[in-house]
Amino acid sequence: MASGNDIKTATETYNGFVKVTAWSTGIIILIVAFVVSLIAA
Protein backbone atom coordinates (compact mmCIF):
# COMPACT_ATOMS: atom_id res chain seq x y z
CA MET A 1 0.00 0.00 0.00
CA ALA A 2 1.10 3.57 -0.65
CA SER A 3 1.75 5.71 2.36
CA GLY A 4 -0.26 8.86 3.06
CA ASN A 5 2.62 10.99 1.86
CA ASP A 6 2.65 9.27 -1.54
CA ILE A 7 -1.08 9.82 -1.91
CA LYS A 8 -0.67 13.54 -1.13
CA THR A 9 2.10 13.90 -3.70
CA ALA A 10 0.11 11.97 -6.31
CA THR A 11 -2.95 14.14 -5.70
CA GLU A 12 -0.91 17.34 -6.11
CA THR A 13 0.60 16.02 -9.34
CA TYR A 14 -2.84 15.07 -10.67
CA ASN A 15 -4.32 18.46 -9.78
CA GLY A 16 -1.43 20.20 -11.53
CA PHE A 17 -1.97 18.05 -14.61
CA VAL A 18 -5.68 18.87 -14.68
CA LYS A 19 -4.96 22.62 -14.43
CA VAL A 20 -2.41 22.50 -17.26
CA THR A 21 -4.80 20.46 -19.40
CA ALA A 22 -7.64 22.93 -18.82
CA TRP A 23 -5.45 25.95 -19.69
CA SER A 24 -4.03 24.20 -22.76
CA THR A 25 -7.50 23.34 -24.03
CA GLY A 26 -8.60 26.96 -23.70
CA ILE A 27 -5.51 28.27 -25.47
CA ILE A 28 -5.90 25.76 -28.30
CA ILE A 29 -9.54 26.78 -28.76
CA LEU A 30 -8.49 30.44 -29.03
CA ILE A 31 -5.77 29.61 -31.57
CA VAL A 32 -8.17 27.53 -33.67
CA ALA A 33 -10.78 30.31 -33.60
CA PHE A 34 -8.12 32.82 -34.71
CA VAL A 35 -6.91 30.63 -37.59
CA VAL A 36 -10.48 29.93 -38.74
CA SER A 37 -11.22 33.66 -38.72
CA LEU A 38 -8.10 34.28 -40.84
CA ILE A 39 -9.13 31.61 -43.33
CA ALA A 40 -12.73 32.88 -43.50
CA ALA A 41 -11.68 36.49 -44.14
Query: Number of C-alpha atoms within 13 angstroms, CB side, residue 25?
Result: 6
CA atoms within 13 A on the CB side of 21: 6
Q: What is the pTM of this model?
A: 0.67
CA distances from 11 to 8, 23, 25, 38 (A): 5, 18, 21, 41
Q: What is the pLDDT of residue 5?
A: 75
What are the average pLDDT values for consecutive 10-residue runs of the chain, which has 41 residues? 76 96 98 97 83
Quote the CA–CA distance of 28 and 21 in Å, as a whole number: 10
* pLDDT value for 2: 59
